[in-house]
Amino acid sequence: MTNELSLLSPVKLGRYQLPNRIVMAPLTRNRAGEGNVPRTLNVEYYAQRASAGLIVSEATQISPQGVGYPATPGIHSSEQIEGWKQVVNAVHAKGGRIFLQLWHVGRISHPSLQPNGELPVAPSAIAPAGMASTYTGEQPFVTPRALELTEIPSIIDQYRQAAENALAAGFDGVEVHGANGYLLDQFLQDGTNQRTDQYGGSMENRARLLMEVVEAVIGVWGSDRVGLRLSPSGTFNSMSDADPQALFSYVISALNRFELAYLHLVEPRWTSATPEENIAALGVVAFRKLYNGTLITAGGFDRDQGNGIIACGNADLVAYGRLFISNPDLPERFALDAPLNPYDRSTFYGGDQHGYTDYPTLALQTA
C-alpha cells in the first residue's frame, strides 16, 4: 500500500466495510428548520457528501435541556426523527453510511434556549468564560446549576432515548459526543467538575457518567455501531484539567472493554513535529498504544498528512471538516489529487444554501 492510497483503501469499522478511510467530521452548521427539525436543505447537503467512507452528523441534541445553539437539530421529537429519516434515506440512496452524533451541551447554553427559561445544567456551578449564542445575539454565559445526584439517571435516560430515536430514524450507528467542553467532557475534567459524590473527585468517578452513557447507548445499538469522540488536548469552552494526560490515558484504556466501533480523537492540530512533541500534545500518537480498537483522528489534516498518519499506523481513519464543507466530492478529489475549492468561513454558521450546498463538484467544474 502506498501512502497516496492509504486514505482510499477500504476498512472495517464495527460491523461495516467502508470503501475508504475518509470521514466527514461532525460539523455544526446552524441550519436546522423550525423546531430544530432537519429540512430539505439539510437532506441535500448530506446527500452531496455521501461518498465519505463514513459521515458523522452534526452534533444533535438529545433533549430540550441539551440545546446550546440556535438552529441546531435535535433527535428528541417525532418531527425531528422524521426529518432525519429523510437525510438518512438520501445518504443511503447514494451508497453512504451515516452515524448520528449525540449531544448534550451542559453549561454551554443560556436560559433563553432552555425549557421554561431554566438555568443550564453542569456537574458543578462554574460558569464558562465568553458568550453564549442565542436567537437574539450573543449573551454572557450564566452560572449553571449543578446537577443533583438524583438527576444523573435522567441524563443517562436522555442519551438512551436519543439512541433509540436515532435507531428509529434509520442511522447506521451513533457517536457519543464526549469532547469540546460539553456535558460529558465537563464531568471528565476537574476544571469543571468539583463534585464530592461518586461523580467527582477521582478520575474513575469523573469518568463514571461517560462510561454509564456509553453502556446505555450500547444497550440500544450494540458496541459495533457506537463510536465516541474525545478531545484530550482541548481547551475550547474554558476546559482544563490538572493532569489531562493521566486522565485521558485512564479513560481511553478503560474504554477498551466496550469494543466500540471506533474512538474519535480531536487533535490539537496535526503537525510534522517529532513523535515526542505529538505525544505531549495529546493526539492519537499519545494514545495509540493504549487503545486496542479503531481510531479516527481529526485536526486539520490535508491529503498527504492524512495518508501519512494512516500509513504509519497511528490512526485508522481521518476525519475532515472544513475541506468537506467546500468539497462535497472530497474522496474523488483526493483520489485524483485534484485542486480543492477554498472554504468561506463567513458562511460556516447559519444562513441559506450559500456556502452550504452550492460548492461545485469536479464534474460541474469540468463540464
DSSP, collapsed to helix, strand or coil, labels residue 228 as: strand
Does 343 participate in catalysis according to the annotation?
no
207 alpha-carbon distance from chain centroid: 18
pLDDT at 364 (0 to 100): 74
DSSP, collapsed to helix, strand or coil, labels residue 220 as: helix
- Summarize the confidence of residues 50-69 as an average pLDDT: 98
Task: Give the angle 204-270-51 at the CA atoms, nearest 5°.
Answer: 95
Catalytic pick from 45, 182, 199, 356? Answer: 182
DSSP, collapsed to helix, strand or coil, labels residue 125 as: coil
Establish how many alpha carbons lie within 13 A of residue 282's alpha carbon, considering only the half-sphere containing its beta carbon. 18
User: Is it the case that residue 74 has pLDDT exceeding 60?
Assistant: yes
| pLDDT tens, residue by residue, 128-171 | 999 999 999 999 999 999 999 999 999 999 999 999 999 999 99
User: Is it the case that residue 275 has pLDDT exceeding 60?
Assistant: no
Of 256, 326, 266, 316, the C-alpha closest to 291 is 256
| CATH superfamily of this structure's domain 3-366 | Aldolase class I (3.20.20.70)
Q: What is the dihedral of CA 179, 182, 183, 184, to 10 degrees?
A: 10
Residue 367 banded pLDDT, cuts 50, 70, 90? low
- pLDDT > 70 fraction of the chain, expressed in percent and rounded: 95
Instruction: Indicate the helix (H) or strand (E) that contains 213.
Output: helix 208-221
User: Is it the case that residue 50 has pLDDT exceeding 70?
Assistant: yes
CA dist 320 and 10 (Å) reads: 17
| pLDDT tens, residue by residue, 164-190 | 999 999 999 999 999 999 999 999 999
Q: Computed over its alpha carbons, how large is the radius of gyration of the chain? A: 19
User: Is it the case that residue 3 has pLDDT exceeding 60?
Assistant: no
**Is 295 exposed, middle or buried (CB count within 10 Å of its CB: 0-12, 13-18, 19+)?**
buried
Maximal C-alpha separation, the chain: 64
pLDDT at 183 (0 to 100): 98
CA dist 319 and 245 (Å) reads: 22
User: Is it the case that residue 273 has pLDDT exceeding 60?
Assistant: no
pLDDT at 365 (0 to 100): 73
User: Is it the case that residue 73 has pLDDT exceeding 70?
Assistant: yes
Measured CA to CA in angstroms, residue 357 lies from 40, 44, 49, 137 at distances of: 11, 7, 10, 25
User: Is it the case that residue 325 has pLDDT exceeding 80?
Assistant: yes
Rounded to the nearest 5 percent, the helix, strand and coil shares of the chain are 40, 15, 45
Grid cell 451508497 — which residue? 95
Average of per-residue pLDDT values in the chain: 94
pLDDT at 276 (0 to 100): 47
- Summarize the confidence of residues 14-42 as an average pLDDT: 98
